[in-house]
């Protein structure tokens, strides 16, 4: 065994040495927006998660291109028979990044796990008091209430104790919000009085280390040569070139100014597919684009009003014009590829005449003005939010509603929606972990109001169903409860599902081992450029 370990160490050093002496390899990713920061626990947007992805590891990771959670910083874990205790056995010798401001004095250990999670679960944690932030995923999934205790039993063993069974717990810990931070770095930031640097000068254990970020321009990363899994570091430099305009991204891709991009306009796909220097990977989208009604604001607090607006939406026209056949009509609050989906549910018929009468019966006068918020960026679930908003504006004008379209910079948009400043907002979601709770709990539960619940809808019968489902381990029993929850949500109309888009990922033929994630992640671990 000792000889085997020595051989493995020698091989790892040889691989790293080969990396450092080989010709420099740089990959440019044309991204679609500027991240608000790199402390990924604070954010839910794909733009923020993509920017943080190269920097961090989690206790568990999702397999490349798949939905199964596999060991990462935890090399293994044990689950008690009652499902309430999780014991994580941590990987030894994992190195944190170094920077001009921080040089770690030790390897990753249990203290880093405790810091990462206690900061989120304890409002009185010293770092949280010094740097007041919100954790929408952690809170929205109820982890702040369900994690009863976290303790280290030795430097490489951490035990989580839950109050109630959480069937998706390991899947949840593989999500970006659970990225492990350095407790030592956090302590130094506190001593310097600069705790917010954890968001702007990030330190992680991931395959790439942060170099610099120029908003609306680029993010630069460099290979983490001391990475614990050197076969995942095949690039010397990774650059995010930020381009909000899809046509600009595609032009840069065709000129080899970037080698991977995302969210092409449907109209651009035929030309991209015909370019011999490119390949376009397509798969059914594990996503949903939807309209969220703020039920805390009149007149959307009336069910009849929400039903009328829902009935007035010409979904087929939106699919034809916005998605250009690269999408599927959405009926439910999660995609049909998700287990637990209820395919017996049907949409209300498109009927603007009836919708207009329902609005009048609810006391909504013709000419009533509302705001409709439209996201400023392309997303996997919405290729053109501005156009969709304009089509909804026309639909609702036919039933007597005057709609004013509003937009903000993407980070500001999400922040204001979480604060409930909107009347109606275009929103969307790409699944994070393969579990129905990531849809029905994360987006529509009472706990997620102020986090990911853009409708701010809190319905006790619905909440009881999704809460009970999360506490069971039998998939059939969970599916039955989730189907009941979908029926309840459909009847109360806090949102109008629009479409599940087909995901198309254009990239250079020179890019090897890039896996299209069902969760919409753009990850460059193990990716290389070949001649």
What's the CA gap between 162 and 145, in Å, rounded? 9
Q: What's the whole-number mean pLDDT along residues 187-205?
A: 98
Is residue 53 within 8 A of residue 521, CB to CB? The reply is yes
3-state secondary structure 261-275: ECCCCHHHHHHHHHC
What DSSP string runs through 135-159? -HHHHHTTHHHHEEEEEEEETTEEE
What's the CA gap between 171 and 181, in Å, rounded? 19
Q: pLDDT confidence of 23, banded at 50, 70, 90? A: low
Tokens encoding 457: 């809808």
Q: How far is CA 471 from CA 100, 142, 449, 460, 463, in A?
A: 46, 12, 20, 17, 13
Q: Is 365 exposed, middle or buried (0-12, 13-18, 19+ CB in 10 A)?
A: exposed
What's the CA gap between 19 and 233, in Å, rounded? 8
Q: How far is CA 243 from CA 27, 215, 409, 427, in A?
A: 16, 11, 14, 21
pTM: 0.79
Share of the chain above pLDDT 70, in %: 96
Q: Tell me, what's the pLDDT at 8?
A: 38
Is residue 187 within 8 A of residue 503, CB to CB? The reply is no
Q: How far is CA 510 from CA 146, 280, 494, in A?
A: 46, 13, 45
What's the CA gap between 350 and 146, in Å, rounded? 42
Q: Tell me, what's the pLDDT at 44?
A: 86
Tokens encoding 115: 């810091």
Provide the b/e sequence for 41-73 (b: ≥16 CB within 10 Å).
bbbbbbbbbbbbbbbbbbbbbbebeebebeebb
Q: What's the whole-number mean pLDDT along residues 319-331?
A: 91
Tokens encoding 296: 């805390």
* Residue whose token pair is 């990774």: 238
Exposure on the CB side of residue 487, measured as CA atoms within 13 A: 10
Strands (E) in 317-464, as ranges, are 327-329, 368-373, 401-406, 424-430
Q: pLDDT confidence of 283, banded at 50, 70, 90? A: confident
Q: pLDDT confidence of 380, banded at 50, 70, 90? A: confident
Q: Tell me, what's the pLDDT at 9?
A: 39
DSSP 341: -
CA 187 from chain centre, in angstroms, equals 28
Q: What is the pLDDT of residues 172-195, one digit of tens each?
A: 999 999 999 999 999 999 999 999
Q: What's the whole-number mean pLDDT along residues 446-473?
A: 94
Q: pLDDT confidence of 7, banded at 50, 70, 90? A: very low
Does pLDDT of 21 surpass 80?
no
Q: Determine the angle formed by the axes of helices 352-361 and 303-311, rounding to 10 degrees.
A: 160
Q: What's the whole-number mean pLDDT along residues 147-154?
A: 98
Q: What is the pLDDT of residues 329-373, one digit of tens each?
A: 999 999 998 999 999 999 999 999 999 999 999 999 999 999 999
What's the CA gap between 46 and 448, in Å, rounded? 18
Q: Which of 78-87, 305-314, 384-393, 466-475 has the lowest mean pLDDT?
A: 466-475
Rounded to the nearest integer, the mean pLDDT of the chain is 93
Q: pLDDT confidence of 284, banded at 50, 70, 90? A: confident
Does pLDDT of 5 surpass 60?
no
Compute the Cα dihedral for 53, 41, 431, 272 and give only its sign.
negative
Q: pLDDT confidence of 433, banded at 50, 70, 90? A: confident
456 φψ region: left (φ > 0), alpha (ψ -120 to 50), beta (else): left
Q: What's the whole-number mean pLDDT along residues 285-305?
A: 96
Is residue 87 within 8 A of residue 156, CB to CB? The reply is no
What's the CA gap between 442 and 36, in Å, rounded? 21
Q: Tell me, what's the pLDDT at 378?
A: 83
Calculated CA dihedral for residues 297, 300, 302, 307, nearest 10 degrees: -170
H or E stretch at 305 = helix 303-311
Sheet containing 208-214, strands listed edge to edge, beginning at the edge strand earlier in sequence: 208-214, 218-223, 237-242, 26-31, 260-261, 503-508, 278-283
Strands 327-329 and 495-501: antiparallel
Is residue 70 within 8 A of residue 172, CB to CB? The reply is no
DSSP 382: B
Helix residue ranges per DSSP H, 73-226: 110-121, 126-130, 136-140, 143-146, 169-173, 183-192, 197-200
What's the CA gap between 139 and 120, in Å, rounded? 8
What's the CA gap between 115 and 39, in Å, rounded? 13
Does pLDDT of 13 surpass 60?
no
Q: Tell me, what's the pLDDT at 265?
A: 87
Is residue 417 within 8 A of residue 455, CB to CB? The reply is no
Q: pLDDT confidence of 1, banded at 50, 70, 90? A: very low
Does pLDDT of 407 surpass 60?
yes
Q: Mapping DSSP to helix (H, G, I), strand (E, B) and coil, where does residue 373 land?
A: strand
Calculated CA dihedral for residues 9, 11, 15, 17, nearest 10 degrees: 70
């Amino acid at each position: 065994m000792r000889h085997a370990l020595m051989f493995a160490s020698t091989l790892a050093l040889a691989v790293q040495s080969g990396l450092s002496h080989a010709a420099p390899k740089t990959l440019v990713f044309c991204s679609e927006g500027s991240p608000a920061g790199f402390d990924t626990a604070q954010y839910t947007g794909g733009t923020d998660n993509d920017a943080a992805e190269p920097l961090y590891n989690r206790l568990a990771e999702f397999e490349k291109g798949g939905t199964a959670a596999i060991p990462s910083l935890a090399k293994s874990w044990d689950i008690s028979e009652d499902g309430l205790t999780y014991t994580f056995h941590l990987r030894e010798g994992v190195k944190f990044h170094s920077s001009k401001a921080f040089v770690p004095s030790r390897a990753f250990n249990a203290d880093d796990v405790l810091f990462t999670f206690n900061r989120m679960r304890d409002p009185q944690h010293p770092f949280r008091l010094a740097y007041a932030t919100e954790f929408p995923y952690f809170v929205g999934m109820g982890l702040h209430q369900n994690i009863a205790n976290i303790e280290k039993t030795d430097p490489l063993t951490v035990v989580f104790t839950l109050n109630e069974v959480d069937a998706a717990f390991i899947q949840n810990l593989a999500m970006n919000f659970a990225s492990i931070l350095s407790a030592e770095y956090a302590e130094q930031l506190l001593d310097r009085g600069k705790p917010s640097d954890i968001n702007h000068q990030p330190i992680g254990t991931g395959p790439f280390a942060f170099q610099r970020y120029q908003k609306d321009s680029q993010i630069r990363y460099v290979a983490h040569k001391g990475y614990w899994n050197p076969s995942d570091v095949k690039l010397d430099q990774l650059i995010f070139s930020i381009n909000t305009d899809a046509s600009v991204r595609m032009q840069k891709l065709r000129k080899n100014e970037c080698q991977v991009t995302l969210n092409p306009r449907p109209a651009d796909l035929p030309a991209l597919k015909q370019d011999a220097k490119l390949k376009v990977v397509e798969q059914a989208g594990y996503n949903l684009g939807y309209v969220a009604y703020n039920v805390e604001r009149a007149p959307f607090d009336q069910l009849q009003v929400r039903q009328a607006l829902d009935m007035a939406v010409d979904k087929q026209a939106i699919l034809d014009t916005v998605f250009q056949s690269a999408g599927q009509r959405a009926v439910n609050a999660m995609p049909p590829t998700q287990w637990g989906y209820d395919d017996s549910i049907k949409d209300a018929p498109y009927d603007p005449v009836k919708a207009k009468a329902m609005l009048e019966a609810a006391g909504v006068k013709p000419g009533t003005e509302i705001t409709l918020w439209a996201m400023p960026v392309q997303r996997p679930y919405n290729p053109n939010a501005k156009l969709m908003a304009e089509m909804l504006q026309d639909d609702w004008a036919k039933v007597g509603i005057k709609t004013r379209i509003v937009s903000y910079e993407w980070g500001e948009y999400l922040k204001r929606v979480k604060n409930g400043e909107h009347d109606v907002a275009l929103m969307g979601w790409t699944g994070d972990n393969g579990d129905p709770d990531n849809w029905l709990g994360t987006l529509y539960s009472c706990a997620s109001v102020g986090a990911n619940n853009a409708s701010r809808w809190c319905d006790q019968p619905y909440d009881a169903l999704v809460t009970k489902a999360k506490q069971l381990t039998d998939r059939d029993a969970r599916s039955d409860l989730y189907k009941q929850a979908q029926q309840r949500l459909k009847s109360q109309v806090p949102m109008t599902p629009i479409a599940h888009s087909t995901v198309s990922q254009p990239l250079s033929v020179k890019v090897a081992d890039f896996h299209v994630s069902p969760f919409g992640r753009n990850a460059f671990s193990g990716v290389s450029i070949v001649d």
